Amino acid sequence: MALAIWYGCEFAKSMGLHRIIVESDSKENISALAHDMLKDIFQSCRWSWVPRSVNLAANHLASRSNTEMCVSTWISRPPSSLVHILNKDGLPCPP
């Protein structure tokens, strides 16, 4: 899971984002990654623990990352397995 967070930060960097909030339901991963290593990459990086029950989209993506999904393809058209979760979170999905 820590690797998924790292890849997410790399993706945010590639998108030109300068301020990010990293939310994880793993306190261990936050402790392992939340230090000065991202200070030089982002102007602002805030780390936050959230319960798994409110982190469903991230959990789903992390669990499927080794199977079918690739960030470059799902960013504009998320897989059908993720659309319901995003809609439940109130995030609009492309048609």
Strand (E) or helix (H) holding 46: strand 44-49
Cα–Cα distance between 39 and 44 in angstroms, integer?
7
The domain total for the chain is: 2
46 lies in the same domain as 59? no
pLDDT in tens, 15-69: 899 999 888 888 888 887 776 666 778 888 888 888 888 878 777 777 776 655 5
This prediction has a pTM of 0.65
The closest of 66, 28, 70, 20 to 47, measured between CA atoms, is 20
70 lies in the same domain as 37? no
Domain limits at 63? 54-95
24 lies in the same domain as 66? no
Tell me what pLDDT residue 91 has: 66
